[in-house]
Amino acid sequence: MITASAPGKVYLFGEHAVVYGEPAVPCAIERRATVAVEERSDGRLRVEAEDLSLDGFTVEYGETAGESPDVDVSPDLVEAAVGYVDAAVAQAREAADAPEAGLDITIESEIPLGAGLGSSAAVTVAGIAAATRELGVELATTEVAERAYRAEHEVQEGQASRADTFCSATGGAVRVEGENCRSIDAPDLPFVIGFDGGAGNTGRLVSGVRELRERYPFAADTVGTVGDLVRQGERALVEGNVEELGTLMDFNHGLLSALGVSSRSLDRMVWAARDAGAYGAKLTGAGGGGCIVALDPTDETETALRFTPGCEEGFRAALDDQGVRVE
């Protein structure tokens, strides 16, 4: 049996705009998804999932056309929890030239599902790394990232970017613009995260931005402005100018709100962080619910979030310089 883990992430800047070729800067955080894989001889898949914002479940299924997991949870949750696993397994089988390999897969995660912290990317990256190792193939980190992107691209029906999977595979802060992905230097940023206990529908939110962008020229301009902001933010990051980073995060949140991807709970948490003296705060990920990220070296924002209506949890999350690793 092989076990691998990969980190979640927050976006300093650039979510949604990155889908249209604009740059984005996600940063890996020290919350991880762990996937253990053991080969089995009957060609079937067995998936046991824990801590994915679900009550936990186990499903077993094979490769018969149209066959799907038989489990007593909603179809949407099954799709969210198992779809990325299926795509990761397909990539691992292809890489190992083992199209009929059966696998026992156990997933544990510290990352809330669908909350904007890169849970699906972390599970996909860790799953591919563990499954290929179990099947006798060791992939370079860059190939793990590429195959994880292909898996997300398939599940998200062509609307995924390389940002989440590349960041989870390599760790640290990264810059993604189209197919150009690279690590960048970053100081030890004082991340504070607020979580409203919910999850946005990534596909619907991405489609909503796409519709606005196609309907209104100024919405397309807004997406381009996010890209300009990311370029300015990258300079501030290299300089270690945390105050400037915070100001630009505030701008980015405003632009994302204008594109319709914020929510009342996310806005409440953003304003609580700002009122507590954070350098800046914004939603992270697709939006619609989930998480915000703030920059604050003091305890004030974390305290304020605990007393904010709609905030289920506030916590610190250090930058994680390690990407995917075999445990």
**Which residue in this structure is represented by tokens 């590349």?**
166
C-alpha distances in Å from residue 145, one per residue of 112, 140, 179, 236, 270: 21, 9, 12, 27, 31
42 is catalytic: no
Residue 185 has pLDDT above 50, yes or no: yes
Q: What is the largest CA-CA distance in the chain?
A: 58
pLDDT confidence of residue 75 = 57
Residue 31 has pLDDT above 60, yes or no: yes
Secondary structure element (H or E) that encloses residue 223, with its range? helix 217-239
Active-site residue, from 164, 196, 296, 320: 164
Q: Is the dihedral of CA 211, 216, 222, 227 positive or negative?
A: positive
Task: Tell me the Ramachandran region of residue 53: left when phi exceeds 0, alpha when psi lies from -120 to 50, beta otherwise.
Answer: left
Q: What secondary structure does DSSP assign to 239-280, as a single string?
A: HT-HHHHHHHHHHHHHHHHHTT---HHHHHHHHHHHHTT-SE
Print the SS3 string covering 81-139.
HHHHHHHHHHHHHHHHCCCCCEEEEEEEECCCCCCCCCHHHHHHHHHHHHHHHHCCCCC
- Indicate the residue type of 176: V
pLDDT confidence of residue 66 = 43
Contact predicate 281/10, CB 8 Å? no
**Which residue in this structure is represented by tokens 């955080």?**
29
Q: Give the number of other CB atoms < 10 A from CB of residue 212.
A: 18
Distance CA 27, CA 10 (A): 5
- Indicate the residue type of 16: H
The domains located in the chain, with CATH, are 2-184 (3.30.230.10), 191-316 (3.30.70.890)
Task: Give 233-274 pLDDT, tens digit per residue.
Answer: 999 998 999 999 999 999 999 999 999 999 999 999 999 999
Average pLDDT, integer, range 270-283 = 97
